[in-house]
Amino acid sequence: MTNTWLITNVRQGNGPHVDRKVDVSIVDGRIAAIGPDLPREPGVTPEDGAGALLLPGFVEGHTHLDKTLWGMRWYRNEVGPKLTDRIENERRYRAQTGHDAGAQSLALARAFLEAGTTRLRTHVDIDTDAGLRHLEGVLATRETLRDMLDLQIVAFPQSGLLGRPGTDALLARALQAGADVLGALDPALIDGDPVASLNLTFELAQRHGKPIDIHLHEPGELGAFTLGLLLDRVEALGMQGRVVVSHAFCLGALPEPQRDALLARLADLRVALLTTAPSSTPVPPLKACLQHGVTLFGGNDGIRDTWTPYGSPDMLERAMHIAARYGLRRDDDLALAFDCVSSVAAQACGFGDYGLQAGARADLVLLDADTLAHAMVARPPRKLVVSNGRVVARNGAYAAGAIEA
């Protein structure tokens, strides 16, 4: 049992059991047991958790590692207000700077690990200017961190699917080259033809046997219309449980009966929703989603890039934003926001063997906080981050140089 490891004296749970002291035993990168007073194996020196709060490794459900300027000199944002302004501005920036998506994605992915995220879905730009260059950079990052970070890649047509001929062929190549999921973007407002755009997206996904994760920023009635077209195709093509709709702002701004009819259909077709919980935009309603059985999970979107100055690789901060966006104050409600960046995100993205139970991959975070809600608002440095049974960070500092591939 050379791979046996024991972490003692940590606190688990949220609520009456938050003071339950447990040990965690890890064998071959997996949780073997969690419970009080686990037996010490001979020859194994236990790690003393010193009463820290035990949380599962966090899950980032939607970011753009390839875009980030993390760690670079501050980018001064002077961008216009429209979505197309931001797309064109980014295109110019890349042409001028030769932005290195490999180096940048690696820098930010390490920061995610440092803060306790061990599973991550990133969208990667595929377009006719950059070709597969960003994908290649992020694939290199995935390879470097393969023993620590579960990194899912969405091949994302940031400039639209229909407007630039050849984009569909690039997406196909991206899916063959290692992208896990097919992305898409505003079939009406960007592509100008929701039916043709969605048909091509679903055709590509089916041909390559990949799930879909679509950015749908389209507001109100237009978004509802596009969402309806999308759900028709999920149903007709048997893609239940294989589609995520990111943002879905429209669901935050529809009359309740119309919204609830869409939620019922989303639940029925097992289409999940992703929110970044932006404070200036309508968002899908968390509690109504829970009532209807719709999966709603969370992510940052871009982090410090030419689009936005905001975002953080600390998913506890995102959980706090989600909780605040939904007006949650009670501890049991804050736990729902944490679920969005942990168990629910893992389930929605299909990250397996997740959680704090025997048999799951040993992805653990220890930090000094009284409770989960306290952790979300105080966000103390992570005392210990374990991924796949390995120590990847201690006291907020990345400790994994030696085990990168």
Q: Residues 354-383 vs a second copy: string with x where CB under 8 A?
A: ---------------xxx-xx-xx------
Q: Binding to a second copy by residue 17, rule CB under 8 A?
A: no
How many other C-beta atoms lie within 10 A of the C-beta of residue 209? 8
Residue with tokens 């730009």: 125
Nearest to a second copy of 99, 304 (CB atom): 304
- CB 310, min distance to a second copy, A: 6
Contacts 24+ apart (CB under 8 A), 98-101: 100/137, 101/65, 101/66, 101/67, 101/125, 101/133, 101/134, 101/136, 101/137, 101/138
Only one of the segments 195-203, 236-244, 305-313, 393-401 lies at the binding site for a second copy (rule: CB under 8 A); that segment is: 305-313
In whole angstroms, what is the distance from residue 368 CA to residue 383 CA?
7
With CA atoms as reference, report the closest residue to 183 among 133, 121, 141, 138: 121
With CA atoms as reference, report the closest residue to 296 among 347, 232, 253: 347
Q: Binding to a second copy by residue 104, rule CB under 8 A?
A: no
Nearest to a second copy of 150, 317 (CB atom): 317
In whole angstroms, what is the distance from residue 39 CA to residue 390 CA?
21
- CB 336, min distance to a second copy, A: 13
Residue with tokens 């259909």: 265
Say how many residues touch a second copy, by CB under 8 A: 37
Q: Binding to a second copy by residue 290, rule CB under 8 A?
A: no
E strands present in 237-381: 243-247, 272-275, 296-298, 364-367
Q: Binding to a second copy by residue 278, rule CB under 8 A?
A: yes
Of 279, 397, 402, 405, the one binding a second copy (CB under 8 A) is: 279
Q: Residues 197-226 vs a second copy: string with x where CB under 8 A?
A: ------------------------------
Q: Binding to a second copy by residue 73, rule CB under 8 A?
A: yes
Of 39, 45, 78, 255, the one binding a second copy (CB under 8 A) is: 78
Dihedral over Cα of 297, 23, 151, 90: its sign: positive
Q: Binding to a second copy by residue 84, rule CB under 8 A?
A: no
- DSSP letter at 74 equals P
Of 129, 330, 357, 359, the one binding a second copy (CB under 8 A) is: 330
Q: Binding to a second copy by residue 77, rule CB under 8 A?
A: yes
Nearest to a second copy of 36, 81 (CB atom): 81
Helix axes 167-177, 194-208, angle to 10 degrees: 30
Q: Binding to a second copy by residue 280, rule CB under 8 A?
A: yes
Q: Binding to a second copy by residue 281, rule CB under 8 A?
A: yes
- CB 86, min distance to a second copy, A: 9
With CA atoms as reference, report the closest residue to 139 among 152, 157, 130, 129: 152
Only one of the segments 132-140, 188-196, 277-285, 391-399 lies at the binding site for a second copy (rule: CB under 8 A); that segment is: 277-285
Tokens linked to 295? 């999966």
Nearest to a second copy of 40, 287 (CB atom): 287
Task: Provide φ and ψ at 275, rounded to 5°.
Answer: -125, 145
Q: Binding to a second copy by residue 277, rule CB under 8 A?
A: yes
- CB 67, min distance to a second copy, A: 14
Of 202, 326, 351, 354, the one binding a second copy (CB under 8 A) is: 326
Q: Binding to a second copy by residue 325, rule CB under 8 A?
A: yes
Q: Binding to a second copy by residue 332, rule CB under 8 A?
A: yes
- CB 35, min distance to a second copy, A: 24
**Contact at 8 Å (CB) between 222 and 192?**
no
Nearest to a second copy of 114, 150 (CB atom): 114
**Contact at 8 Å (CB) between 333 and 313?**
no
State how far the alpha carbon of 353 is from the alpha carbons of 231, 237, 350, 362, in Å.
Answer: 29, 28, 10, 9
Nearest to a second copy of 43, 81 (CB atom): 81
Nearest to a second copy of 116, 311 (CB atom): 311
Tokens linked to 134? 């960003």
How many other C-beta atoms lie within 10 A of the C-beta of residue 256? 10
Q: Give the binding site for a second copy (CB under 8 A).
A: 15, 73-74, 76-79, 277-281, 304, 307-312, 320-321, 324-327, 329-332, 334, 369-371, 373-374, 376-377
